[in-house]
Amino acid sequence: MTAKILKLLVICLTLSAGVYAANEDVALITALTGVATASWVEPEADGSPTTDENRRSHEWSIEIAEMLPVGAEITTGADSELTLIHLAGNVEYNLGAFAQARITEDRVEGLDIASMPVNLVSANLGLGSSMQNQVGAVISDHVEGQQISKINDSYDSGGNKSVSFSELSREMRDKGPELSIEMQPLPAPAPKTVDFRLPATPSPSEQLDLATDNESKVDLEEKAKSEYGKKRESPQTIAMVEACFALPREILDQVYPADASLDVKDYEIDVVADFGGWINFNFQTNMVDCDFNLKIRGKSGVLPITLHVENAAPSVAYAWRLEKSGLLAQAASIWLKLQAEGMSEKKVAPHLKRIREKLLQPQN
């Protein structure tokens, strides 16, 4: 009897595993104009396509930010357009009016469907292939002191008693702000060479006209040089863009007490109680389209974060590109912005839950 019970238990576990795999969500709706519907028939545990009375059929209207499972079939209406990303292949698909498509494990199949790969936000970070975490492990005061003491073992001024770096840094933090954020730009690529050229040689007819007046030709050259000099001397306006990232409350608690005030100059910091608890950071930066580091320094250590900011408006597609690039904290902040702009909590919650689980995974 015991053997039979164990056999039945194994069969039940196997069937459950099969249903879970077949029900997996693999496509994300990133844009929709007009109307589109999805239909999906629950698969059998063994993946058999045979229809029977035990399988239920579902049909519903598609909404933006929705996830669709393997086997879902999509139909768009008149004057409608739908964009979705297949997460397995990281490919974007565009469906026009009256389109019909089916989602498989690795692609979207159908007629008159345009597709293109989704570009990572930054290929230099090396995070995208495994969607690793942009938030590093916490560096304790003790470890950071040891790292810097290799360069300067002690502090000595005018024959005074030597003070260790740990003591000095602790004293400075006690006198300064309790929470600080330091920006550290990463090495930038070599600047492009500016090649200034005078106007091209005039045509023969223009040369004939200019030959009658040598002074006018000299004046033109001097004017061109003068205009170029003014452009070089005039300061260029530095464009600032919105940047953001969000951390689960538990991560920030590792370096800063939960009951302490969050106040950092030039940063807008919001405490979000929903979705498990997040700390959302917003700031302005001119570090656009390049990688840079932030160090969040609290009472208990330093939390390093790598960022890559684009001048892009919050969108579902941008949130996914950030997540796929390993920029999980930035992706979470974009989802919070979308919710603040009116997207329902029901749509946002599963995405923040997925990102939260990745952020809370132990760092190497």
* Residue 48 sits in the same domain as residue 181: no
Mean predicted confidence (pLDDT) in 300-305: 89
- Listed residue (112, 117, 93, 114) closest to 103, CA to CA: 93
pLDDT of 300: 84
* Residue 62 sits in the same domain as residue 153: no
What is the rounded average pLDDT for all residues in the chain? 75
Is the pLDDT confidence value at 52 over 60?
A: no
Is the pLDDT confidence value at 277 over 80?
A: yes
pLDDT of 153: 41
Reported as half-sphere exposure (CB side, CA atoms, 13 A), residue 35 has a value of 5
Return the residue matching tokens 């005030």: 261
Between 80-84, 140-144, 195-199, the lowest mean confidence (pLDDT) is in 195-199
pLDDT of 166: 40
Between 272-286, 298-312, 345-359, the lowest mean confidence (pLDDT) is in 298-312
Joined together, the tokens standing for residue 297 give 């320094």
Domain coverage including residue 333: 141-187+238-359
Encode pLDDT of 208-250 as tens digits: 454 445 555 556 566 655 665 554 554 556 689 999 999 999 9
pLDDT of 17: 34
Domain end among 117, 151, 169: 117
- Listed residue (256, 228, 243) closest to 284, CA to CA: 243
* Residue 75 sits in the same domain as residue 152: no
- Listed residue (324, 321, 332, 320) closest to 359, CA to CA: 332
In a domain, 224, yes or no: no
Report percent pLDDT > 70 for the chain: 61
* Residue 162 sits in the same domain as residue 65: no
* Residue 272 sits in the same domain as residue 322: yes
pLDDT of 355: 96
In a domain, 206, yes or no: no
Between 69-78, 79-88, 300-309, the lowest mean confidence (pLDDT) is in 300-309
Confidence of residue 15 (pLDDT cuts 50, 70, 90): very low
Which carries the bigger pLDDT value, residue 200 or residue 46?
Answer: 46
In a domain, 192, yes or no: no
Domain count across the chain: 2
Which carries the bigger pLDDT value, residue 290 or residue 272?
Answer: 272
Query: What letter does residue 38 receive in the DSSP assignment?
Result: E
Which carries the bigger pLDDT value, residue 220 or residue 198?
Answer: 220
Cα distance between residue 337 and residue 314, in whole Å: 7
Contacts of 197 (CB under 8 A, 6+ apart): none
Encode pLDDT of 94-139 as tens digits: 999 999 999 999 999 998 899 999 998 875 655 554 555 677 777 7
Continuous H helices in 105-164: 141-149
pLDDT of 362: 77
List of E strands, the chain: 25-33, 36-41, 57-61, 67-69, 73-76, 81-86, 91-95, 100-103, 108-110, 113-117, 180-185, 241-248, 267-272, 278-285, 291-298, 301-308
Answer yes or no: are the C-beta atoms of 28 and 316 closer than 8 Å: yes
Which carries the bigger pLDDT value, residue 207 or residue 297?
Answer: 297
Report percent pLDDT > 90 for the chain: 45
* Residue 170 sits in the same domain as residue 68: no
Cα distance between residue 266 and residue 291, in whole Å: 20
